[in-house]
Amino acid sequence: MSGAPQLLKETGPREVFCGLTSIVWLHRRMPDAFFLVVGSRTCAHLIQSAAGVMIFAEPRFGTAILEERDLAGLADAHDELDRVVNNLLERRPEIRTLFLVGSCPSEVIKLDLARVAERLNGQLNGQVRVLNYSGSGIETTFTQGEDGALSALVPLMPKAESQEKQLLMVGTIANSVEDRFIKIFNRIGINKVSSLPPRESTKLPSIGPGTKVLLTQPYLGQTARALQDRGAEILKTTFPLGIEGSRIWIEAAAKSFDIEESLVNTTLEPLINRAEKAIRPYKDKLSGKKIFLLPESQLEIPLARFLQRECGMHLLEVGTPYLNKELMQSELALLPEKVRIMEGQHIENQLDRVREQKPDLVVCGMGLANPLEAEGISTKWSIEFVFSPIHGIDQAADLAELFSRPLHRHDLLNKTQLIHA
């Protein structure tokens, strides 16, 4: 049954990735863009190790290293940055959009990347567009890097020529998932559908009062506000995770385009039937199991809703780094009464609660997974959910499978230990 969850808050030491991580999925989405981190060697290492395994061509990101002299204010970091950018653009003429990505070190020395971007835009004369946003780990978590990148793109979106209704999906999703959503929307009669970010960084969709926005990801509060300021309407609904969340999300678009409910139902019915069948074996594995979600990605609340309502899991605690009550309203309404939603993090206290409550599965950052596994607690990395195609009705079984995999591994390990005992 649905009801009011308990909304709690805590602050203290945190253990999360920084916003630079989002470059890994953003550069795959927009192959004509380049992400230049303005940071230290630590930032370069982070981004290389986060993305290293996924590089299949010349990388579309790099780091302009701030040396100790820059950090101590002894050298002019602006000159150095200009030199790096000019070299890069000479070598890589295919780059159409250059994102200068701020980091903790660039913020600490107060390097004004907005001013650098403005100056470079003047020099480059439209040949390449230079934008900036912050990926720093000071007070932010890794998914907010995408929020920063997308809100930097919003002012460049052309003004829609008419007030004709159009649908805009906002947030990076896999191209195959995007194609499937577009097909569904076309089938129910919504023909003008575009995405932010687009597949080509220069082909930004238009925006105006006829634009209806469906967020695909829950961590885009800043982008949502920027789109609203450009006249778009943000449709308040669930996020398209799981069968139910995706159905409600599609219905919200259909309603705003005055589309007959019966047409939506007949279009979605076969997809839902197929997905319900596909999810069954995972549901059997997950049902009745206890899960604890530590705060990291902001995907935790929609995932918890899916796990509880569609997979029968018992929610011990649902952590989230930030809680945007407005965007999360429809999700919160579907959670069970009194479930603990914990905004923020005090890592020690949270780990104490994990140990005390003995969950079957913990969703957490990579840094916490190994120590918890060593204590015999199964874990799932939250970062996997931003790299995997998990959105939509068709993907619901794959999403459930991601959670059942560690439980399966745990069972196998236990069996092996029993055999060798």
- Please give the residue ranges that form the binding site for ligand SF4 (CB under 6 A): 18, 20, 39-40, 42-43, 46, 103-105, 135-137
Cα distances (angstroms) measured from residue 395 to each of 185, 228, 242, 243, 267: 17, 29, 7, 8, 17
Cβ proximity to ligand SF4: between 43 and 303 the closer is 43
Helix, strand, coil % (nearest 5) of the chain? 50, 20, 35
Which CB atom, from 71 or from 402, has the smaller least distance to ligand SF4? Answer: 71
135 vs 392 by CB, closer to ligand SF4: 135
Work out how close the CB of 158 gets to ligand SF4 at its nearest, in angstroms, rounded to a whole number: 32
CB of residue 120 to ligand SF4, shortest distance in Å:
21
- Distance, in Å, from the CA atom of 289 to the CA atom of 173, rounded to the nearest integer, reads 29
Q: How far is the CB of 64 from ligand SF4 (least distance, A)?
A: 12
CA distance linking residue 209 with residue 232, whole number of Å: 5
From the CB of 55, what's the least distance to ligand SF4, in Å? 18
Return the number of the residue (137 or 221) whose C-beta is nearest ligand SF4.
137
What's the closest the beta carbon of residue 419 comes to ligand SF4, in angstroms? 43
Q: Amino acid identity, residue 131?
A: L
Between 61 and 239, CB nearer to ligand SF4: 61
In single-letter form, the type of residue at position 322 comes to: Y
Residue nearest ligand SF4 (C-beta atom): 137
Q: Which is nearer to ligand SF4, 18 or 303 (CB)?
A: 18
Q: What gap in Å lies between CA 167 and CA 216, rounded to an integer?
A: 12
Of 227 and 364, the one with the shorter C-beta distance to ligand SF4 is: 364
Q: Which is nearer to ligand SF4, 8 or 108 (CB)?
A: 108
Phi, psi of 300 (to 5 degrees): -60, -40
Least Å distance, CB 362 to ligand SF4, is: 23
Structure tokens given for 413: 């390990």
CB of 111 to ligand SF4, least distance (A): 13
- The least distance separating ligand SF4 from the CB of residue 7, rounded to whole angstroms, comes to 28
Per DSSP, the three-state class of 241 is strand
Residue 185 Cα distances to 171, 182, 192, angstroms: 17, 5, 9
d(CA 370, CA 359): 16
The rounded radius of gyration (Å) of the Cα atoms in the chain is 22
The DSSP annotation for 62-100 comes to EEEE--HHHHTT-S-HHHHHHHHHHHHHHH-TT--EEEE
User: In this structure, which amino acid lies at residue 47?
Assistant: I
Rounded distance between C-alpha atoms, residue 52 and residue 164, angstroms: 44
Least separation in angstroms between residue 105's CB and ligand SF4 is: 6
- Which is closer to ligand SF4, CB of 16 or CB of 167? 16
